[in-house]
Amino acid sequence: MVTVEIILPLAIADTYTYSVPDAMACPEAGMRVLVPLGKKTITGLVYRLNPENSAATVNSSYKIRDIIEVLDSSPIVLPSQLELWRWIAEYYLCTLGEVMTAALPARLLDNDYTARTEVYISLHPRFRDVEELQGVFNSLRRAPKQKKLLEYYLELSDAFAGPPHPIEQRILVEHSGESTAVLRTLIEKQILVASHEVVSRIPSYDSAIEPAHPLMPQQLRAVGEIEAAFANQKVCLLHGVTSSGKTEVYIHLIEQMLSEGKQVLYLVPEIALTTQLTDRLKKVFGNRLGVYHSRFSDMERVEIYKDLLSTGAAKVILSARSGVFLPFSRLGLVIVDEEHDGSYKQQDPAPRYHARSVALMIAKSAQAHVLLGTATPSIETYYNAQTGKYSLVEMSERYAGLQLPRISIIDLQRQYHRREMYEHFADPLVDKIREQLSAGKQIIIFQNRRGYTPYISCRKCGYVPKCCNCDVSLTYHKHTRSLVCHYCGYTIAAPNDCPNCHGAWRDNGIGTEKIEDEVQRLFPEARIARMDLDTTRNKNSHQRIINAFAQHEVDILIGTQMVTKGLHFSEVSLVAVLNADSMMQSPDFRSYEQSYQLLEQVAGRAGRSGSQGEVVVQTFHPDHALFGYLQNHDYAGLYREQLRERKMFRFPPFYRLIVITLKHRDNVRLDNAARELHGLLNTAFGTRCSAVIVPPISRVQNMYIKTIRLRIEANASFAQAKRIVMQSIRYVQTLANCKGTIIQPDVDPM
Ligand code: ADP
Ligand code: ZN
C-alpha cells in the first residue's frame, strides 16, 4: 500500500496519513488532494510520500483512508516552499496546517478559484482566404450594418498586416457603434466566431515607462557600498534618514536584478498605505511589477501566485508580509523596507511569524541577498549590523540637500499652569499653525487614538461604561453617537447621561475626532481631513484622502499612525504631535524604541521639499532623554542607551523571548492551567521563567487571559527550550482540571 503524508488546514497535527488507491496515479509532493475527514471532505496538500510498507503504515492502529481525488496535474507548492513551511512550524511552534493557511491564498486552497473569461470574436478560418473573404463582402451588399461591423473587425484586428487576431466583443461593439444583434447575425452566418478566453485580473499597465531618476552622489555611493557589501555578506542594513532617497536606491538595485533575470521581493509594512510607492514603481517597472494584495481581492492573489509558479518570470513583487510565501524560483533580492515596523509580525492567528526573519530564511535557501532599509532600525537589526553579522550602509543627508526638520518640545504642564492653552493646543503651537496656514502650507496633526474620547466617566458617581465582553472601557465616537470597544467591536448607542445617577459625562483623553472638532473651532477657514481606521474602511477611501491632501485640497490632515508611514507630501511644513506621553508610558520593553521610531517617522513627513520643516511635540515630560535624541536625530545615542537597558533587564538581542498566552472562558480552569504550566516551566527554566502574569487587559471577547514569559540566553539552545515548552503545553492540555484552555506560544514576540 502506498501512503502519503497530507497537510490539512488544522491546528492539531502536522500531517495526516492517507493511502493512494490502486487505480489512482500517485500524487507528488505539493499537489492538492481531496480527502475524507470524519464525515466531511476536505482539501489538503501532499507533504511527502511514504516509502512503501513504511513503519508508519504498518504500525498504525488507525484505519488509513483513501485519497478521494488528486486535484492538480503538477505541484502548486515548490519543494523549497515546503521546506520553509517546515522551518516556520518548528521555529514558531505551530502546525504545518497553520502555516499552509497563512501561506496560500484562500481560494487556491479551497480550489474555488475561477478564471475570469471574456467573449472574444475572431474571423472564421475559412475566410483567411482573400477570395472567400471577397465573396462574403459581396454577399453583404444589402446588409450595410453587418458589412460595416465586419470591416471594423478587420481593421481592429490588423487583418492586413497578418492573420486577424481575436478582438474582445465588448471593444468591437463599442468601437464600431453597431449593436450586438448585428454581431450575433454575423456569428449565426458563421462569418465571425465567438469564443470564451481566459483573461487576467491583474490590471495591466499601459502608460509609458519612465527611466529611473539618475542617482545623486550620496545614492550612488550607497549603491556602490551595498553592491560591495553583497559580495561578502548576504544581508545589508541601509540606514538612511527620512527622505534620503532610499526608494531610488532600491529601484536601481531592482533594475540590476531584473536585467540578470532574477526575481525581487519588495516587502512593505502595509500595502494599503503605499499608493504613492506603487505608482512610482509602476512608472519604472510597468508590468514587471506585481502587487500582492491581501486586503481586497483573493482572486488577484491567486493569479500572481500562479503566474510566478508557471512562468518563473523576472518580476518584482511588492507585498506586505505574506509575500514571503510566494513561489519564487529565481529570487535574487529581498528588500525589507521600514524593517523596524511592528506589522511585519503576525500576531494572530498562528503562525506568529516575523516576515523579516522569514525573508532572511528564504533568501538564505535561494542564495539571494537581503536589504533591510529604514531611518530608524530596530535595536536587534542595528545590533547585528554593529557586531558584523550584517553590513551597514548609511545615508545621513536628505535628498537634494534638504535639512532634517527642526524639533521643538512644548511643556504641557507649564502651558496648563499658565493657562496658555486652547483646549488641547498650546498657544505657541496655535500660532505656528496659523503662520503656516497663511503662508499657504500644509500641516499634519498626529494623535495616536481614534474616536472622540478614549473613555467617558460620570462627573457625579465616577461610573465608566465598559465592554461586556472585554475588560476595557468603551471609546466614545461622536460622529456615530456610539460607545465602541476597540478590542471586540461591541457597540452601543451612547446614553445621554449616567445610567446610575443621571450625572453628566466627563471626557477623558483625546481621540482624532475630538482633535478635528477643536481644529475646526480654532481654524474655521482651514480645510480639514481626518485619516484613521474609521475614515478608511472602504476600498478607496484611504487613497481619496491622500490624493486630496497631495493636491492641496486639504490644509490640515489629522490622523493616527497611518499618517506616519512613507507618505510624501511636498507642501507639509509643520507636523504636530499633540501628546507624546501615552505611547512612551506603555509598559512594553520596546515602547521607548517604538516611540522614537514613530516620532522620527512622523517628523519625516515635514519639510520634504523647499525650506526646512518643523515638528512640534507636546508633552508633560519635556526632560525625557528621548526628546534629546529626537532633537539631534541621534539614533546612535538612543541605540546605545537602549542596548544598555536591554542587557541589564535581560531582553533581546541578549535574550530570546517566548510568551505563552493562556485563555479560557472559565477563570478557574484558566488558573489551574496557568499554575500547572508555570510549575513545569519553572522547574525546567528556573529564573528564566516569569511568574504568571495577569495582563493589563485581562479579558477579551469573554476569554480570561494569563501569560508566562520565558527568557532564553541568546547563546543557549533555543530549539531545546522550545521542545520543553511544547512538551509542557501538551501535558497541561491533557489535564482534566485545565480542560479547554487555549495555550498559544509566541516566539520572538513584538
Ligand atoms: P526615503 O524613502 O529615504 O524617505 P524617498 O526615496 O521617498 O526617501 O525620496 C524622497 C524624495 O526625493 C522623493 O520625492 C523622491 O522622488 C525624491 N528623489 C530621491 N532621489 C531622487 C533622484 N535621484 N532624483 C530625483 N528625485 C529623487
Ligand atoms: Zn469588547
Ligand 1 midpoint to CA 246 (Å): 7
Single-letter amino acid, residue 135: G
pLDDT along the chain (750 residues), means of 10: 92 91 94 94 94 59 87 95 97 97 89 82 87 89 91 79 79 86 92 87 81 94 98 96 94 97 95 82 94 77 92 91 96 97 94 98 97 97 97 93 91 96 96 96 94 94 95 93 94 94 93 96 97 87 89 95 79 92 85 92 82 92 94 94 96 97 97 98 97 94 96 95 96 96 96
- Ligand in closest contact with the CA of 697: 2
pLDDT of residue 706: 97
- 245 and 267 co-located in one domain: yes
- 245 and 298 co-located in one domain: yes
- Is 282 contained in some domain? yes
Nearest CA to ligand 1 atom 20: 245
- For the beta sheet containing 3-7, the strands, ordered from the edge strand earlier in sequence to the opposite edge, are 65-66, 16-19, 3-7, 40-49, 32-37, 69-70
Residue whose CB lies within 8 A of the most ligand 1 atoms, among 243, 341, 565, for a mutation test: 243
**In angstroms, what is the C-alpha Rg of the chain?**
30
219 lines ligand 1 (CB under 6 A): yes
- 295 and 392 co-located in one domain: yes
As a residue count, the chain comes to: 750
- 232 and 138 co-located in one domain: no
- The dihedral through the CA atoms of 348, 351, 352, 355 has a sign that is negative
CA-based nearest residue to 662, from 696, 705, 692: 705
- Is 492 contained in some domain? no
CA-based nearest residue to 661, from 653, 670, 672: 670
Tell me the whole-structure pTM to 2 decimals.
0.89
- 698 and 603 co-located in one domain: no
- 381 and 427 co-located in one domain: no
pLDDT of residue 514: 96
Beta-sheet pairing, 655-664 with 421-422: unpaired
- Last residue in a domain, options 148, 165, 198: 198
**119 pairs with which residues across the strands?**
196
CA 599/CA 604 separation, integer angstroms: 8
216 lines ligand 1 (CB under 6 A): yes
Ligand 1 midpoint to CA 369 (Å): 23
550 lines ligand 1 (CB under 6 A): no
- 270 and 303 co-located in one domain: yes
- Ligand in closest contact with the CA of 472: 2
CB 396 within 8 A of CB 241: yes
246 lines ligand 1 (CB under 6 A): yes
242 lines ligand 1 (CB under 6 A): yes
CATH code, domain with 668:
3.30.70.600
Q: Which three cell numbers stand for residue 565?
A: 508611514
Residue whose CB lies within 8 A of the most ligand 1 atoms, among 210, 226, 238, 248, for a mutation test: 248
**What is the residue range of 237's domain?**
217-399
The conformation of residue 296, written as its DSSP 8-state character, comes to S
- Ligand in closest contact with the CA of 404: 1
CA 271/CA 294 separation, integer angstroms: 8
- For the beta sheet containing 572-577, the strands, ordered from the edge strand earlier in sequence to the opposite edge, are 406-411, 614-619, 572-577, 442-446, 556-559, 528-531
- Is 319 contained in some domain? yes
Cα distance from N-terminal residue to C-terminal residue, the chain: 47
169 lines ligand 1 (CB under 6 A): no
- 266 and 360 co-located in one domain: yes
pLDDT of residue 67: 96
- 388 and 412 co-located in one domain: no
CB 352 within 8 A of CB 94: yes
- Is 737 contained in some domain? yes
Residue whose CB lies within 8 A of the most ligand 1 atoms, among 239, 280, 399, for a mutation test: 399
Atom of ligand 1 nearest to the CA of 242: 4
CATH code, domain with 50:
3.40.1440.60
CA 435/CA 611 separation, integer angstroms: 15
CA 53/CA 179 separation, integer angstroms: 66
Helix (H, G, I), strand (E, B) or coil at 66: strand
- 101 and 125 co-located in one domain: no
Ligand 2 midpoint to CA 678 (Å): 28
pLDDT of residue 175: 83
- Is 495 contained in some domain? no
Please count the other Cβ atoms lying within 10 Å of the Cβ belonging to residue 612. Answer: 13
- Last residue in a domain, options 90, 109, 128: 109
- Is 468 contained in some domain? no
Ligand 1 midpoint to CA 668 (Å): 57
pLDDT of residue 296: 60
CA 282/CA 294 separation, integer angstroms: 19
Ligand 1 midpoint to CA 600 (Å): 17
- 224 and 370 co-located in one domain: yes
749 lines ligand 1 (CB under 6 A): no
Q: Which three cell numbers stand for residue 87?
A: 522551518
592 lines ligand 1 (CB under 6 A): no
- Last residue in a domain, options 109, 127, 143: 109
Nearest CA to ligand 1 atom 10: 243
- Is 212 contained in some domain? no
Ligand 2 midpoint to CA 557 (Å): 29
pLDDT of residue 54: 63
How many structural domains are present in the chain?
A: 5
Nearest CA to ligand 1 atom 5: 245
- 395 and 412 co-located in one domain: no
512 CB-contact burial (10 Å; exposed 0-12 / middle 13-18 / buried 19+) = buried
- Is 488 contained in some domain? no
